[in-house]
Structure 1
Amino acid sequence: MKKSEIQIFLAHASEDKPAVLALYNRLKQAGYKPWLDEEDLIAGQIWRDEIPKAIKASQIFLACLSGKSAKQGYIQRELRIALDTLGQMLPGTIFFIPMRLEECEIPDLRSAEVGLNLRDIHRLDYWKENGFEQLERAITYQFKLEPEELKQSVIVPEEPKKLLSVFNFEIVGVNAKGEQIKKESKQSQYFAQDLGNGITLEMIAIPGGTFTMGTEDEEIERLVKKFNWDGFRWERPQHRVTVSSFYMGRYPITQSQWKAIAATAKIDIDLETNPSNFKGDELPVEIVNWYQATEFCKRLSRETKREYRLPSEAEWEYACRAGTTTPFYFGETITGKFANYRASNTYAEEAKGEYRQQTTPVGQFPPNAFGLYDMHGNVWEWCADTWHDNYDGAPRDGSVWTENGNDNRSPLRGGSWCFNPYFCRSAYRGFNNRRDFSSFYGFRVVCGAGRTL
């Protein structure tokens, strides 16, 4: 049997998706055929129908376990859904592997075997350094992989593997009055890019998916009427976009990160090492135009041997929303307690807050569900696209949109410390000339998942 013929179904809890996505990518790189709902379900497919089909087509059921999934029974339920649907239709054997993403108890999953011949290959500890190697050895032995196939295995570089880490954080939610109505624990995976002298750049794993970009016409007209601003019409037409997985900076680029890269050799243009108006190593860099931001990306790519760039507008909005459909990733409104903007003005029914009149250190406010900080306010963030007045003809794959655009201008997203709250919305599109700079223009970087794992 060949590696490419071994389909591996990854059963997991939604909270563990960043770690499971990393495992999915490693399996894919190694030549296997992993199946993960978020990566392999097509828009419009019904997951309750497709998951049993995927299990039926798989040779291995890989139960990805964490303390939360094991305790709350997510994996048992997913297995039972498949079994209840398929009944006795599953012929033969599917090999079952419990694999721990972190140190936790392995629950008794064998009690769920109704109509399915489950056989353990091994009990694996992926959270330990040699966990993936254990998995490879177990599969090789059980499926008697062809020698030629083993020679062609893709070896995952040691350095990136060691740099991949998981961190825990809390997100909050507010109602239209700005009252906190939710607090929830989340987990994301990231790697830390070494920039030298103790300075690192933390890149968060953003799982691929499909989302609705822009704002519906009725809401746009309500906003135009309420705030007397035609710029909301730049957010139409609302459309579906499918984004591939990528990595995005946990924070906007800070002044210490800027200095580390700006001090390296020039590629196209010179960079001032300390351009910002508000000084502080952990403050976001500002007074940076689009050309300077892209020069930073080119130098960063050269220094790290990874391809860094500005995000596309679609990637930025997808990452900002992090699965939400509300105006802000916090919910129906925004408050000065949770973001840095002109909080003396209000968006909905919330009370007025503090207008700080300057940037704040990155990471000071609660992140979104992907673990990204400062996506609302602090500094506007440059995107790679050329400017278009609306989304007519926009790509549906999340790619950078340059065709038929104004290549003297580029989008800016997220609002800033001195802008009103409605400019900070997830869907709002700002723009400026690529040569313009200001104390409220900054940026963050992205890189492709394939370059990192």
Structure 2
Amino acid sequence: ATTNITSEPSRAEVFVDGKSRGRTPLRLELPVRSHELTAQLDGWPNEQQKIEIDPQRENAVHFVFANGSVKITSAPGGAVVIGNGQELGQTPLVIEEVKPGDVTYELRLGGYKSTSVSGKVEPQQQSFLAARLEKSVGPEPGQSFTNSLGMKFVPLAEVRISVWETRVQDYEAFSRASGRHYEPADFQQAPTHPVVKVNWFDAMAFCKWLTDKERDENLIEDRQSYRLPTDREWSLAVGLPNESGATPQARDGKIKNEFPWGKQWPPPAGAGNYPAGAGQRRGTTMPVGSFKANALGLYDLGGNVWEWCADTYKGGSSGTGRDWGVLRGGSWATSNRLEMQSSYRNVVDRNERDVIYGFRCVLAPESNDRIDNR
């Protein structure tokens, strides 16, 4: 006799008397007698029915795989609930039609540590998940802060950026703790001078060490991380928020006659640590913050040392197969007008170390920030 077997949701595997016969919706010819039917659907408990086949009519069997629901609360309330990478709402929150099984949600609230709540959802039942949020000891959103090394940070778009370049004393702390080789400059540097002779990989290793250190010390949240600024973030810091182009190479040098100190040429007195005149070198770095800050409170975006950005630079200036990176801002040895422009990108192999190369850090809100060529 003909038997139609359906399920909600569909695509359940159907077993008739222990033998798999296909997936719903299914139309079978079954012998006239009683049969044990089992439906299996990934993530749900098996559903079973017994049917007595009636030869006088078309038989029908329908399986329903029921969902459950979850109610999430927090103290204090108003926490953003994240599930599978998506914002689902704010606590208190009821989530309907949740597939049975283990579930985990992340709760985020400004001023509090992020936390996770987990539980098991049963069909046709509501699961209750609750969390008491702990005050965060990290920086408040949108606020300036000083980290464990005494590095000062101010808000910049979605990140916080160091007001000055990473100092010798900061990098030496990293070198001592990590054992990473550090070769000092071949000129005299005080602890508050910007560190030099670091390549892109050195700078990123410093950022990772500082991230791990401050997470372990409960000074930043586990989802926050230090890294190099992206090329776009650096442009925003120096006062070029409207550059066009999708990559550093597309934006390179497009905005003319804009300098970290303004439009005036040559650099006015006190603009930064540049050579005193064309072809002349002061011959050394200077302590960070020796000159006037810009409107965002950032120092030395022009002069002192070139600063590594997170991005790579496609193509490079010469040769093939090189691992090109981007440096911005000029240095104590920069006297060329073109190179002093805020839009200029210094394209250098990321493995290169030099007495004119340094970096500054940003603190990003997410530990898995995607760094691309924008």
TM-score w.r.t. the length of structure 2 is 0.52
Q: Secondary structure in 1 aligned to 2:333?
A: coil
- Higher helix proportion (structure 1 or 2): 1
Distance in 1, matches of 2:282 and 2:145, equals 32
| Residue 416 of structure 1: aligned partner | 331
1:283 pairs with one of 175, 189, 193:
193
Moved over 3 A (4+): 27-32, 148-156, 273-278, 322-326
Q: Secondary structure in 1 aligned to 2:311?
A: coil
Counterpart contact for 1:336–1:343, Cα < 8 Å = no
Matched, 1:300 2:210: yes
Matched, 1:317 2:267: no
Counterpart contact for 1:251–1:362, Cα < 8 Å = yes
1:191 pairs with one of 105, 124, 145:
145
Give 1:49-68 correspondences, 5 Å limit.
Answer: none
Gaps of 5+ in 2: 1-75, 82-110, 113-126, 216-223, 243-254, 368-374
The sequence identity of aligned pairs, in percent, is: 29
| Residue 154 of structure 2: aligned partner | 204
Residues 416 and 30 from structure 1, CA distance in 2 versus in 1: closer, same or farther, beyond 3 angstroms?
A: same
Q: Structure 2 counterpart of 1:339, which letter?
A: G
Gaps of 5+ in 1: 1-26, 33-131, 134-147, 166-187, 208-244, 347-353, 391-404
Distance in 2, matches of 1:28 and 1:430, equals 49
Distance in 1, matches of 2:365 and 2:128, equals 24
| Residue 261 of structure 1: aligned partner | 174
Matched, 1:447 2:363: yes
Counterpart contact for 2:307–2:329, Cα < 8 Å = yes
Give 1:327-406 correspondences, 5 Å limit.
Answer: 327-333=258-264, 334-345=267-278, 355-389=281-315
Count of residues in Structure 1 that have an aligned counterpart in Structure 2 = 227
Which of structures 1 and 2 has the bigger CA Rg?
Answer: 2
Q: Structure 2 counterpart of 1:315, which letter?
A: E
Deviation at 1:328, TM superposition (A): 2.0
2:138 pairs with one of 139, 154, 160:
160
Deviation at 1:417, TM superposition (A): 0.5
| Residue 159 of structure 2: aligned partner | 246
Counterpart contact for 1:388–1:406, Cα < 8 Å = no
Q: Secondary structure in 1 aligned to 2:212?
A: helix
Q: Structure 2 counterpart of 1:414, which letter?
A: G
Deviation at 1:434, TM superposition (A): 1.6
Distance in 2, matches of 1:28 and 1:377, equals 48
Q: In the TM superposition, what whole-angstrom CA distance separates every residue of 1:258-284 from its partner, at most 9, and x where no partner exists?
A: 111111135xxx232745643111110
Q: In the TM superposition, what whole-angstrom CA distance separates every residue of 1:37-64 from its partner, at most 9, and x where no partner exists?
A: xxxxxxxxxxxxxxxxxxxxxxxxxxxx
Distance in 1, matches of 2:77 and 2:259, equals 35
Please report the RMSD computed on the Cα atoms of aligned residues, expressed in angstroms. 3.8
Distance in 2, matches of 1:422 and 1:154, equals 52
